[in-house]
Structure 1
């Protein structure tokens, strides 16, 4: 399904993959992503894989949107995994100390497997 330039796919009753649109994830592009993540959580989607492989720059506002979504998800005993390969994006997670908060993977499938271990209805 599509939400603005971002897409998402429900892989099971629990796990959803959110594919973030290409380019920069900063102040002007974050609001649609934040809305999508919050809408998914509000609709009972508590295990999200956020695929940032098309993103070449992640600003602090983008990181804030992910942290905000994670807080909402954790309130429901869920999880959020990040997929990223671009060094500038990975560096933002490292310098902010969030590599200890977010499980980060190079591809989508290990992230799905990781969340699947904790999602009660995940049969991917």
Structure 2
């Protein structure tokens, strides 16, 4: 399966809607799309994971890279609406402690 990436800017916030699978095949495309969004001071990037049906460790690596980029450039990253199995991957790796993940779809109006 492929990964669909839809990026829209609303109210100075980059909204990224993902659907499909994030794995070794699709992660490079995701990284190419997300990292530039984080490389602007004061940028806010909200990634909606609601339609992500599968993610492996390469997907986690993309989000860790994006988080490092936000620290370097002074931007913000928020992940919203992960499905339970995707959220569990962040949880068991301890990434819920360092990446802002909101399971409430009302974050900034959701997507």
Give the TM-score category using the shorter length: 0.7 to 0.9
Matched, 1:7 2:11: no
Tell me the SS of whatever aligns to 2:25: coil
Q: Which has the higher strand share?
A: 2
Which of 86, 90, 94 is 1:93 aligned to? 90
CA pair 43-79 structure 1, distance change in 2 beyond 3 A = closer
Greater alpha carbon shift after TM alignment, 75-84 vs 90-99: 75-84
Q: Which runs of 5+ in 1 are unaligned?
A: 114-124
Matched, 1:27 2:24: yes
Tell me the SS of whatever aligns to 1:67: helix
Number of residues paired by the alignment? Answer: 107
How far did residue 45 of structure 1 move? 7.1
Matched, 1:17 2:48: no
Runs of 4+ in structure 1 off by over 6 angstroms are: none
Report if the CA contact (8 A) 1:16-1:45 is conserved.
no
Q: Output the CA distance in 1 between the equivalents of 2:32 and 2:47.
A: 14
Question: Taking structure 1 as the reference length, what is the TM-score of the superposition?
Answer: 0.76
Matched, 1:60 2:47: no
